[in-house]
Chains A and B, each alone.
Chain A
Amino acid sequence: MASQLIIARRKIGNSIFVAFCWLGAAVALTFLALILLSLITKGLGGIDIKIFTMDTPAPGSPGGLRNAILGSIMMCALAMVMALTIGVLAGTWLAEYAGQSLYGKVVRFVNDVLLSAPSILIGLFVYTILVAPFHGFSGIAGAVALALLAVPVVTRTTEDVMNLQPSALREAGVALGSPLASTIRRILWRASSTGILTGGLLAFARISGETAPLLFTALNNQFFSWNLTKPTANLPTVIFNYALSAYDDWQRLAWVGAALIAFAVLFVNIIARTLARESRRS
């Protein structure tokens, strides 16, 4: 009798637990579906040709996001060039030269901290070193801030991928009489290229939506401009300013901008994941 009671209690407890897990998944997926739904109805619905051909308007007049899209692309591209250069070299150092040395461990730890450091603090730092001394906000400062956010991602993936390469590859290079530097560049980097590319894409996805570090570095610009030494328009800041404004048409543009960024990020993430899966399979 007592044992039956215990069994019944365990069964009921288990049913509650199972229901709780199903409910959790349902709640999470509902929220996420709601967000995507808002993006699609309020954002994608507002996309027309003007978004890409006209610049950010004054309230009440027609306009688009051309200058902000260009600014964002330029800054992200510049940031990725810097981040890939430094990140791949730093990751290579960690994988091939650092070993278990103390300095190697310190750099690894520092990289992990930077990987999840609050992005607004990176913005403050870049403001202090690049904006305040030169008395001016600039797209270059924005790109440096974004690069600082992307480097840890690239470094980490590069190190991970290179560690996965079989040591037979290194030995083969050395056996051919090639110096270590050539072995790394010609053999290891080539073998790791898919993985490094994946890391680069993930880093790009991460920085393309970052807003906080751009607020005090790139600032914003109402006009169409290729000049990165001056304040530069960018999508995240435009979204931030327009969403908090009181004008309907500005808020509509903010939704369009948010949808553009969100779907671009989703797209890049999907490519990165597909690449990662392909390379794991081969």
Chain B
Amino acid sequence: MTLAIHATSKEKRRGGALDPVFEALCAISATTLLAALIGVIVSLLIGGWPAFQKFGLGFFVTSDWNPVTEVFGAAGPVVGTLVTSVLALAMALPVAFGVAVFLVEFCPSVLRRPIGVAVELLAGIPSIVYGMWGLFVLAPWFALHIQLPLMLAAPPGSLLANLIAGVPNGANILTASLVLAIMILPFIAAVLRDLLMTVPPPVRESAYGLGATTMEVILSVSLPYVRRSAIGAVMLGLGRALGETMAVTFIIGNSHDFPKSLFDSGSTIASTIANEFNEATGAMHTSALIALGLVLFLITFAVLAAARALLGPAKTV
């Protein structure tokens, strides 16, 4: 008994002294996060500064990218990033919405959990796997069965012919967007499904009770109910697509020219950095790549901040 009291009082003294130390440790760890984000911004600013200084606004509007003469214009990769991401979102969103509604409304209850879990698991597969699949499976199939027939069928000089001009090897902006779309699809679908699940049953049931069809319930009742968060979820998907590196690098064809058609090879900011950073010889080349990184950071930061403002804090489990 005395021993126990002795032990607890000792523990109390020791713990009491440890209290501020422990709190400080926790606060320091939290500050590490802030320091990391500030560090990312500052290092990109410092590293990219020479390029911004030398090329000014021309960095964003020209598309000469020539490491030999040290002239760098980032319009190609910047436009490539925006075009692939927006195309990917345009392709993924309708399908993801369909999947989410299917899981909430139509799926036989036996299959609901397995399909739901499958969708969530596929959102976690590393992007390099999607990239490899795109390179070895999708690109050859696309070149043979879609690109070549289309190019043969399109009348020369027409709008269609211009849209699909390019080398028929399957490595182009459109296939890159398609791989990106497949990659962000499970993610958007999972979040949308969770959102649709939060609509209270009485709200939906009263709409059904008024004689609304399923379509009317989803489009006029459920979707407006979660509108704000749904837009946030979509922005989050867009943020993923913008910053994605490996899935795109494999398949976009890596050309720095301004993309002229959907079947033209192009590049994104992330793929340019991934391909060239280690081989960059001149200081200006490195600086231009880091400046590109800063541009990417600013774009994704804006999108993510908007998404978070609409969606509230992240949920991981």
* A and B physically associate: yes
Q: Which residues of A contact B (CB under 8 A)?
A: 10-11, 13-14, 17-18, 20-25, 27-29, 31-32, 34-35, 38-39, 42, 85-87, 89-90, 92-94, 96-98, 106-122, 124-125, 127-129, 148, 151-153, 155-157, 160, 177-182, 184-185, 195, 198-199, 202, 205-206, 208-212, 215-216, 219, 236, 239-240, 243-244, 251, 254-255, 258, 261-262, 265-266, 269-270, 272-273, 276
Smallest CB-CB A-B distances: 9 pairs: A24-B98, A209-B126, A118-B243, A93-B26, A181-B22, A89-B29, A17-B215, A14-B213, A179-B15
In the complex, B128 has a CB within 8 A of chain A: yes
In the complex, chain A residues whose CB is within 8 Å of the CB of B266 = none
Please give me the residue from chain A that is nearest to B278 by CB atom: A216
Stretch of B70-78, B115-123, B147-155, B257-265 with 4 or more beta carbons under 8 angstroms from chain A:
B115-123
Using A179-B12, A265-B126 as known contacts, say yes or no to A113 and B182 having CB atoms under 8 A apart. no
- Whether A258 lies near B30 (C-beta < 8 A) is no
Q: Complex: how many Å from CA A251 to CA B136?
A: 10
22 contacts between A and B (CB under 8 A): A10-B216, A11-B213, A14-B215, A18-B215, A21-B101, A24-B94, A31-B185, A32-B118, A35-B122, A35-B182, A112-B313, A118-B300, A119-B243, A127-B277, A128-B290, A160-B315, A181-B21, A198-B317, A199-B317, A206-B124, A236-B246, A266-B125
- Whether B16 lies near A179 (C-beta < 8 A) is yes
- Whether A125 lies near B44 (C-beta < 8 A) is yes
Q: Mark B19-49, 1 if CB is under 8 A from A, else 0.
A: 1011101111111111011011001101100
- Whether A151 lies near B33 (C-beta < 8 A) is yes
Q: Which residues of B contact A (CB under 8 A)?
A: 8, 11-12, 15-16, 18-19, 21-23, 25-34, 36-37, 39-40, 43-44, 46-47, 94-99, 101-103, 105-107, 115, 117-122, 124-133, 135-137, 182, 185-186, 189, 213-216, 218-219, 236, 239-240, 242-246, 249-250, 270, 273-274, 277-278, 290, 293, 296-297, 300-301, 304-305, 308, 313-317
In angstroms, how far is the closest chain B Cβ from the Cβ of A2? Answer: 17
